Structure 1
Amino acid sequence: MSSLQVRLSASNPDSHWGSKAPVSFDSQSATIHLSGSDKDQIRSIRKAARLLDSIGIESVQLTDDWSLEQQWAFAGSFTTAKKQNHIQWVSDANQDKLSQMYQAMLFTRNLVNRTPEDIYPQSLANEVSQWLSTLAPQAVTVKTLVGEELQQAGWTGIYNVGRGSSRPPVLLELDYNPSGDANAPVAAALVGKGITFDSGGYSIKASEGMLTMKCDMGGAATVSGALGLAIMQGLNKRVKLFLCCAENLISGHAYKLGDILTYKNGMTVEIVNTDAEGRLVLADGLLAAGETGAGLIIDAATLTGAAVMALGGEYHALFGLDHQTQQKMQTYAEQEMEPVWPLPLENWHQEMCPSPYADTANSRPMKGGGAGGASNAAGFLSRFVPNQGQGWVHMDLAAAFNNTATNTMPAGATAQGIRTIARALLEAE
């Protein structure tokens, strides 16, 4: 397959292409025309990549003087669910790093984009375990609890959310320990929401809202992709990964409105919305992460529509009671050019989902959880983290998935966030 050569230029296109044309062509190549700030240029590259894909360009060779960030922006926007590994990088010192990043991006995106028939709780846990074990075969050990084992072990959130499905829920605990020392401290713990399909349960979603719910395991895919990327980039610290995997379906054995769950820390939770299930499974994951003694805990989840309403589809929302750790994550995101934005979280957000029957409800009994839904969800999670939230950051992945292509990104998973989280792991103390 011949490849179209694509180059960059700071000049304006010839007038016959139009004064605002992002791309011009000759018989052998395409030229992307850049102007403005670095961020403006990155956005222009993304738009140009989408344009090239839309006119049927199958394969490209990036030529001349592209920076790493420029190549990465093009790759993220040109690569689709159906067209992958069709980019030749510039032959320079960035090639190996770009190849690692691209591998992690493809793993993350392809996992999210797969059908819910293919990716169910056990297959999600298996695929993540196999990929990470391939990257570091001597450093990875895996433990899983499945189905009734979860109930017996006290992981009530994952068990109850997943018990309505014939395919049992799973808690995956993956230990990346490059030193091999069983007593080595855990530098960081990652927690991912792995709802492989979300019908909403008895608080059932409308059909159009349910269509994209194969992406509700985007948090699990993101933290897994991030750990894989960090391993490829030389991670030498011990990290534990917890994936909270379940299908939220309706059956005679499904959990119901009005149920009360009792967590391992003694917290009781009234179920007022079975579609607010992500926080229920993450609560178990956060408790497990806290047991490791890790100084840094990061959870990631496609958790609330409220975050999407607040930030749109290009920023992830960032929450933390520990504002210093939250600021570090925001700095890493800026350095890795993955947009995030902080939303409010204070201790009093724990009180925003009251229950007359339990310590808290899992939401508020109104559409979308009512005003401040993303912060209230983060407040719920903060009940399950150690040390009053010191060292903990919650990422609500508003930019994880696009049902249809935009002018900057293809349809499907984005893998946005893997670089930020990988950077945090490499920088962890």
Structure 2
Amino acid sequence: MTALTLSTAGAATLRADALVVGVAKGPKGLVVAAGAEAVDTAFDGKLAAMLDALGASGAEGEITKLPSPAGLKAPVVLAVGLGSAPELDESFDEEALRRAAGSAARALHGSKKAAFALPLEDASAVTAVAEGALLGAYAFTAYQGGDKKAAKNGGPKQPLAEVALLGAKPRDKEHKAAAERATVVATEVNVARDLINTPPNDLTPAAFAAIAAATAKELGLKAQVLDEKALIKGGYGGIMGVGKGSENPPRLVKIAYTHPEAEKHLAFVGKGITYDSGGISLKPAGHNETMKCDMSGAAAVFSSVVAAAKLGLKVNVTGWLALAENMPSGSATKPGDVLRMYSGKTVEVLNTDAEGRLVLGDALTKASEENPDAIVDVATLTGAMVLALGDRTFGIMANDDAFRTSIHEIAEEVGEASWPMPLPEDLRKTMDSPTADMANMGVRMGGGLVAGLFLREFVGEGITWAHLDIAGPAFHEGAPYGYTPKGGTGSAVRTLVRLAERTATGDLG
């Protein structure tokens, strides 16, 4: 993990491999953002003019490098675009700062230390820049560089080793707390990314469960792992129905953080399909290659509970990881089979590739038994949600409009794009089955909403619940941007952590 330090040293005097400054689009051209005054002075006040001559525009995330003049200890100045400059009485948007810091950190992979001289007007800005830099510095290299000779000759670059935030005061309580929080949250987002990126032959349900149990022991959290024998005995027909086609049996993991002064209890439930072939309803060619990411919801839940514990939040948070491999075999569930869920409801399986809702159904029922104040499930659940909202936005459904609105506002606050979605009652009828209590499929159009309606059936009566369908933003297949890498993104971790923080302080609308 990249180290983060706060420094009151001047930009001209700090030794580093690179000095990061912000530039923006002003009303009359390129402008140098606050925090880089000493750097501009070293360029005789002509930094903006030089960058303009090099083609810089100040566009969000744009990177321009140039050699440092005499007077700066760092040999390279990296200018990163912040987008449009704010009005005189306004500040840069926190997400713009977060993305700019992420872009700069990505551009400096392979460097040992970089000094960030970006605008830091308050503690919120410190959090944004710190988070962006730590998230942007992420790289998944665990399976690269095995050939030492190849690694020496242009092998994978290691992440930026250290980030120094210039202008952030290490003795200022607010700045220090902001940096510490950003470090915890970014660390856990990156842990989720590592889990998502791990190949499915290594991250089986049992392996994921072992990681969760070991982490719980290390942090003093309570953990419980139900193996296949316990799942069969307990009547978890949804999880077993999905997992019985694989040689790697399923698991249901509970990991719980409690605080002695907590007045509220949140339950987070994560879909953890460590590999999804579609089962007997096999996915077509071209749709299997990234299906190691189908456990992104469970990764987000796991990391969020750990973050809540590390931050010492005054709220009880329980995570439920519904882990299984969805594989085709002679023992796999078949279309037309009927499963008896943990709740007692029977479900006719019309499509074995609609498996996430089956494991979540059992986990939601189990989570409801503890009667938490609210349940939030997180899942890469439907391709329909990607069609509706694209690759960067997750959908939010809930049985309480105010709770749905709060989560949407929280997600936007932390920089995770989301959109509130309805649960139309007429779609529920399309899951009626002549054989069982319900089917795991309804009409194709509005499939993401149908899936949300299915999950609602397994939430305990009177419990506030929300469902986050992160199928779009959980795994990024394109070129990296801002602080978002290629591969696993850790989507929803920041939203869940902020939800826990606001619940702990009673600031949840």
After superposition, the Cα gap between the structure-2 partners of 1:221 and 1:295, relative to the gap in structure 1 and judged at 3 Å, is: same
Deviation of 1:282 after TM superposition, in Å, equals 0.1
Superimposed CA distance per residue, residues 358-414 of structure 1 (whole angstroms, 9 cap, x where no aligned partner): 2221114xxxx61101100000001000125x4101000121111232444321111
Greater Cα offset, 121-130 or 211-220: 121-130
Contact kept in structure 2, 1:230 and 1:423, CA below 8 Å:
no
> Structure 2: which 5+ residue stretches go unaligned?
1-14, 25-29, 32-47, 68-75, 142-157, 170-174
CA contact (8 A) 1:222 1:418 kept: yes
Name the residue aligned to 1:164.
Answer: 245
Deviation sequence 1:80-130 (CA, Å, 0-9, x none) = 323446341415323222221221112111011101011110111111222
Aligned mate of 2:54, from 1, 13, 17: 17
Q: Report the AA paired with residue 63 of structure 2.
A: V
Deviations 1:8-41 (A, max 9, x none): 2344453322253623322121112323267878
Equivalence map 1:138-153=2 (5 Å): 140-153=221-234
1:42 is displaced (CA, Å) by: 3.8
1:131-142 correspondence runs (5 A): 131-134=215-218, 136-137=219-220, 140-142=221-223
The CA distance in 2 between the partners of 1:341 and 1:154, in whole Å, is: 35
Q: How does 1:23-422 map to 2 (within 5 A)?
A: 23-27=63-67, 28-36=76-84, 42-43=95-96, 46=99, 49-50=102-103, 53=106, 58-64=111-117, 65-66=119-120, 67=125, 68-82=127-141, 83-84=158-159, 86-90=161-165, 91-92=168-169, 93=175, 94-134=178-218, 136-137=219-220, 140-179=221-260, 187-364=265-442, 370-387=444-461, 390-397=463-470, 398-408=472-482, 409-422=484-497
Q: 1:53 to 1:69 in 2, by over 3 A?
A: closer
Is the Cα contact below 8 Å between 1:89 and 1:95 reproduced in 2? no
Relative distance call for 1:202 and 1:423 in structure 2 (3 A) is same
- 8 Å contact kept, 2:308–2:317: no
**Counterpart-to-counterpart distance in 2, 1:306 and 1:50:** 30
- 1:280/1:24 CA distance change after superposition, 3 Å: same
Q: Give me the TM-score of the superposition, normalised by structure 2.
A: 0.76
Name the structure 2 match of 1:6. 20
Contact 1:190 1:240 in 2 (8 A): yes
Q: Is the 8 A contact 2:271 2:378 kept in 1?
A: yes
CA separation of 1:89/1:160 partners in 2, compared to 1, >3 Å: closer, same or farther? farther
Tell which deviates more after alignment, 417-426 or 208-217: 417-426
Structure 1 residue ranges without an equivalent (≥5): none
Letter in 1 for 2:356: G
What's the C-alpha RMSD, in Å, of the aligned pairs? 2.6
TM-superposed CA distance for 1:52, in Å, is 6.8
Shifted more, 261-270 versus 110-119: the winner is: 261-270
SS at match of 2:490: coil
* Partner Cα separation in structure 2 for residue 17 and residue 357 of structure 1: 69
1:59 positional shift: 4.7
1:3 is displaced (CA, Å) by: 3.0
Task: Work out the CA distance in 2 between the residues paired with 1:102 and 1:48.
Answer: 13
CA 1:216–1:403: 2 relative to 1, 3 Å: same
Note closer, same or farther for the CA distance 1:30–1:331 as it changes in structure 2 (3 Å cut): same
Please tell me whether the aligned partners of residues 35 and 41 of structure 1 are also in contact (alpha carbons under 8 angstroms).
no
Conserved? CA contact 1:186–1:292, under 8 Å: no
Deviations 1:333-381 (A, max 9, x none): 12222221111114443323232212221114xxxx6110110000000
TM-score, with length taken from structure 1: 0.90
Amino acid at match of 2:342: K
How far did residue 186 of structure 1 move?
Answer: 6.6
Going from structure 1 to structure 2, the CA distance change for 1:120 and 1:185 (only over 3 Å counts) comes to: farther
Deviation at 1:78, TM superposition (A): 4.2
**Separation of aligned partners in 1, 2:23 and 2:52:** 15
Compare 100-109 and 47-56 and name the one that shifted more: 47-56
Q: Helix, strand or coil for the counterpart of 1:201?
A: coil
- The verdict on how the C-alpha distance between 1:334 and 1:132 changes in structure 2, with shifts beyond 3 A counting, is farther
Q: Secondary structure at the match of 1:208?
A: coil
SS of match in other structure, 1:352: helix
Cα displacement (A) at 1:70 = 3.2
Count of matched residue pairs: 418
1:32–1:45 contact (8 Å) kept in structure 2: no
- Higher RCO structure, 1 or 2 (CA under 8 Å, sep 6+): 1
* SS, match of residue 209 in structure 1: coil
Instruction: State the SS of the aligned residue for 2:357.
Output: helix
Measure, in 1, the Cα distance between the counterparts of 2:194 and 2:217.
Answer: 18
Distance 1:294 1:45, change over 3 A: closer
How far 1:264 moved relative to its partner? 3.1
8 Å CA contact 1:157, 1:280 repeated in 2 = yes
* Structure 2 counterpart SS, 1:35: strand
State whether residues 225 and 251 of structure 2, in contact with CA within 8 Å, keep that contact through their aligned partners in structure 1.
yes
Letter in 1 for 2:77: S
- Identity among equivalent pairs (%): 31
Q: Distance in 2 between matches of 1:305 and 1:60?
A: 41
Aligned-partner Cα distance in 2 for 1:48–1:298? 30
Label 1:89 to 1:275 Cα distance change in 2 as closer, same or farther (>3 A): farther
CA distance change for structure 1 residues 132 and 332 in 2, over 3 Å: closer, same or farther?
A: farther
